[in-house]
Amino acid sequence: MGYLGVMYDRRMTGGKLGGGGKGVKFHKKAAKHNFPMSMRSLALRYLSGAGVRRNHQTGLELLQRLDEMGETIGLAELGHIYKDGTGLEVDYAKALNILKEEQMQMNLMQCSVWD
C-alpha cells in the first residue's frame, strides 16, 4: 500500500507533496502497518496541511513512532520540530540529540556505500 501511495503521489504531483485522494488513502493504510515511507509522508502532510487537515499532534506522533521503531527517515523533521517548538514546547537538548543521531546515521550510510 505504501508504495502505491508514493507512486500515486509522484504521478499526480510531479514528485511534490501535494493533493489528497488515493495517495493519502494508501499512505494511511500502510502507516497502520508501520511502513516508514508512508508514516513520514503522512507526518509531513499533517504538519503542512498538504492534502489533509493540518494537525501538528498527529504529525508529531507519526515521527515519534518512526523514532521508536529505530527508523531514521523522519529524524531530521522531528529534531526541527523540537528546535522550533512546532506544536510543543521548545526543547533544544532533545532537538540536538535527535539531530546528532540523524547526522551519525547519515554518516554511517555514506561510509557503508564506500565499503
Q: CA-CA distance, 115 to 113, in Å (whole number)?
A: 6
Helix 22-32 / helix 2-13 crossing angle, nearest 10 deg = 160
Whether 92 shows a pLDDT value over 50: the answer reads yes
| pLDDT band with cut points at 50, 70 and 90 for residue 111 | low
* pLDDT tens per residue across span 36-51: 999 998 999 999 888 8
Burial of 2 (0-12, 13-18, 19+ CB in 10 A): buried
| pLDDT band with cut points at 50, 70 and 90 for residue 91 | very high
The residue among 12, 8, 9, 74 whose CA lies nearest residue 37 is 74
Q: CA-CA distance, 46 to 109, in Å (whole number)?
A: 28
Q: What fold does the segment set 2-114 form as a domain?
A: 1.25.40
